[in-house]
Structure 1
Amino acid sequence: MTSPPNTLISTRDLQVGFAIRKGPFSKGLLKAVDGISIDIPKGAFLGVVGESGSGKTTLGRALLQAVPVTGGSATYDDGEVRYDLGQLKGAALKEYRSRAQLIFQDPYAALSPRMTVRDIIAEPLEVMGLTKSRAETDARVREVAATCRLNLEHLRRFPHAFSGGQRQRISIARALVCGPRFVIADEAVAALDVSIQADILNLLKQLQRDLGITFLFISHDLSVVAHTCDHVAVMYLGRIVESAPTRALFRAPRHPYTRALFSAIPSLDPDDRGRAQVLSGEIPSPTNQPSGCTFHPRCPFATERCKREAPQAEKGADGHMVSCHHWRELAAAPDAIRQAEPAE
């Protein structure tokens, strides 16, 4: 299957597994990412959502080559260079790291307390040898700092002097200083107050528009994803079970898991109660995945077919993809999810 034109990141049956010892004489395989095929267009803002343990962060790390790809393929193609991410080593990997960067979740732990803000932002330039002199490095640091709404006097200070939002802008500046085309934001606003979250999200959207950066935005917060992302992929147990343009997904989710996630979004109406669906049990262990549809042990609509047969991904002309045997029946009954026992 070929990738559509204007695709920056493309994966086909991408797999990431970790060997684990199950006993004194046997080993097993933990499938953190299990057969993901996705195309990320240039300049897109793709959101990835799902419960803890669904494989979101591992997917991001695999696309940065921070963890090895154990199966399938992943490619990067920005029109100037093309990389097979599973084969990157040495100088090629170092060059790719200048084109793909990460914004960490915790702005307090991500910055060295012994370095000034200037040195923190300049470090990628110096490690990768992207500038030839200190004057050139300082000029680039000042340019990126201004883009991220940092004042010049901030560059002489240490991280302890800043609030969480300011620290996250420093982290963003460090990620942008080498001019990346692809940035992964892993829960980049989860540790911030709501008002500061809005400021950081607006900054990321502005960077997307002004610099044409492609973002992969990993988050638990569906309201943040709705505000920021152009397209959303829903992960469960290492697989993408549904993906669609943001408005289409929020207007009419098709997979039972997606519908359960959306039903749990708090309402601003204090009289609006009993809408959340309680999923029984927890997400299964990646070392012992259920047969058939991996969601069937928790799905209120599961049938015998779901237990035996894994659903195939179906993609419509509108770009809406879903992996569920019964999504058409659920689409015909949009309020069926509310028939389940409501949350207390």
Structure 2
Amino acid sequence: MTEELLIETRDLTVGFPVGGRLFNKKTLKAVDGISIGIPRGSFFGVVGESGSGKTTLGRALLNAVPITGGHATYHDGEVRYDLSTLSGTELKDYRKRAQLIFQDPYAALSPRMTVRDIIAEPLEVMGLTASREETDARVREIAAKCRLNLEHLRRFPHAFSGGQRQRISIARALVSGPRFVVADESVAALDVSIQADILNLLKNLQSELGLTYMFISHDLSVVAHSCDHVAVMYLGRIVESAPTRKLFAAPRHPYTKALFSAIPSLDPDDRGRAQKLEGEIPSPTNQPPGCKFHTRCPHATDLCKAREPVLQTESGHAVACHRWQELL
């Protein structure tokens, strides 16, 4: 039985023109030909270094940045949208169905609004409630699910800790009743103990409200705790994708292995064994030929430098590497 996909992309590309001169313009491909499927009800993780295109991919699936190539579709029951052509009434309807939880809980909330007004704003902007009483009832309902009480609704954001602020941000994202939620590094700014609390809250809300998450992170330990499936991005492309257990048990791409080896260990004998990545991630406006990772890969050959590997899938585990079988 195949999983029903809520979000599906085919060769999705997001590019931005850069350069000020008429004959010296380049295109920065932040997302470069990505094909993924996010099953309904899943906790789909996307990991990679800063500059790999994770956030741009998430924003493209929210229709917050323009899609410049390929296709992305949202399919929920009888509702189906082509995200590359959304506009007008369809776009307004999609805004109710897809929401974003921001990374920084301190910058994401207006200091001049009470918590009640912050959570109620999407309902008022989208016209989802007919009266203030209906709005207040919906705000109280979602606040309770996010472990906020009535007294919290009367306060301003400065009165709360980072974890409490993030619960406010989650309540604001969920108040419109979305089906798809992009969580962009939503626990990165929090203490470790608070991270676990927020992750457990997201998991509980997922089962209670029937949510599908795209969870963007650079922290593999956080991804291992929460996600069902993980896609690894490098320079705008997916280099490896697999169910979480498979990926952590046997990573295949050299980049994924390097990320895993950098996870801190409590075992003193493991210290100093991390595989160091030499150099920096190349500029998206001047990408190397062949495999995009070959400039930093210790296993690169002339084939890697000349020909770009295709994402190959075997038993649900996809990898884009010419030599992955030799390196197992």
Smaller-chain TM-score bracket: over 0.9
Counterpart selection for 2:302 from 301, 304, 309: 304
Q: Deviations over 1:181-216 (max 9, x none)?
A: 000000000010111001000000111111110000
Q: Which amino acid aligns with 1:30?
A: L
Q: Deviations over 1:231-260 (max 9, x none)?
A: 000000000000001011011000000000
Counterpart selection for 1:275 from 273, 276, 279: 273
Contact 1:68–1:86, Cα closer than 8 Å, also in 2 = yes
Aligned length: 327
Deviation at 1:22, TM superposition (A): 6.2
Pair 1:7-2:5 in alignment: yes
Deviation at 1:57, TM superposition (A): 0.3
Contact 1:103–1:184, Cα closer than 8 Å, also in 2 = yes
For 1:112 and 1:80, locate their aligned partners in 2 and report how far apart those are by CA, in whole Å: 36
Deviation at 1:273, TM superposition (A): 1.8
For 2:20 and 2:231, locate their aligned partners in 1 and report how far apart those are by CA, in whole Å: 32
Superposition pairs of residues 21-100 of structure 1, within 5 angstroms: 21=19, 23=21, 25-100=23-98
Counterpart selection for 1:323 from 309, 320, 323: 320
Deviation at 1:74, TM superposition (A): 0.2
| Alignment partner, residue 222 of structure 1 | 220
Q: Which amino acid aligns with 1:82?
A: R
Counterpart selection for 1:284 from 275, 282, 285: 282
Superposition pairs of residues 220-259 of structure 1, within 5 angstroms: 220-259=218-257
Q: Secondary structure at the match of 1:300?
A: coil
Q: Which amino acid aligns with 1:86?
A: S
TM-score by length of 1: 0.94
Deviation at 1:102, TM superposition (A): 0.2
| Alignment partner, residue 293 of structure 2 | 295
TM-score by length of 2: 0.98
Q: Which amino acid aligns with 2:324?
A: W
For 1:77 and 1:243, locate their aligned partners in 2 and report how far apart those are by CA, in whole Å: 22
Q: Secondary structure at the match of 2:222?
A: helix
Deviation at 1:23, TM superposition (A): 4.5
For 1:325 and 1:269, locate their aligned partners in 2 and report how far apart those are by CA, in whole Å: 33
Q: Which amino acid aligns with 1:128?
A: M
Q: Which moved more, 1:252-261 or 1:203-212?
A: 203-212
Deviation at 1:270, TM superposition (A): 2.6
Superposition pairs of residues 102-141 of structure 1, within 5 angstroms: 102-141=100-139
Deviation at 1:272, TM superposition (A): 2.1
Contact 1:22–1:28, Cα closer than 8 Å, also in 2 = no
Q: Secondary structure at the match of 1:297?
A: coil
Q: Deviations over 1:7-38 (max 9, x none)?
A: 10000000000001164632110000000000
Q: Secondary structure at the match of 1:101?
A: strand
For 1:69 and 1:140, locate their aligned partners in 2 and report how far apart those are by CA, in whole Å: 33
For 1:186 and 1:214, locate their aligned partners in 2 and report how far apart those are by CA, in whole Å: 14
Pair 1:145-2:132 in alignment: no
| Alignment partner, residue 203 of structure 2 | 205
Q: Secondary structure at the match of 2:295?
A: helix
Deviation at 1:108, TM superposition (A): 0.5
The 1:230–1:104 alpha-carbon spacing in structure 2 relative to 1, beyond 3 Å, is same
Q: Secondary structure at the match of 2:203?
A: helix
Q: Which amino acid aligns with 2:46?
A: V
Deviation at 1:180, TM superposition (A): 0.3
For 1:294 and 1:231, locate their aligned partners in 2 and report how far apart those are by CA, in whole Å: 23
Structure 2 unmatched runs, 5+: none
Query: What is the Cα-based RMSD across aligned positions, in Å?
Result: 1.0
For 2:42 and 2:188, locate their aligned partners in 1 and report how far apart those are by CA, in whole Å: 21
Q: Which moved more, 1:33-42 or 1:206-215?
A: 206-215
| Alignment partner, residue 342 of structure 1 | none
| Alignment partner, residue 181 of structure 1 | 179
For 2:171 and 2:78, locate their aligned partners in 1 and report how far apart those are by CA, in whole Å: 24
Q: Which amino acid aligns with 1:324?
A: C
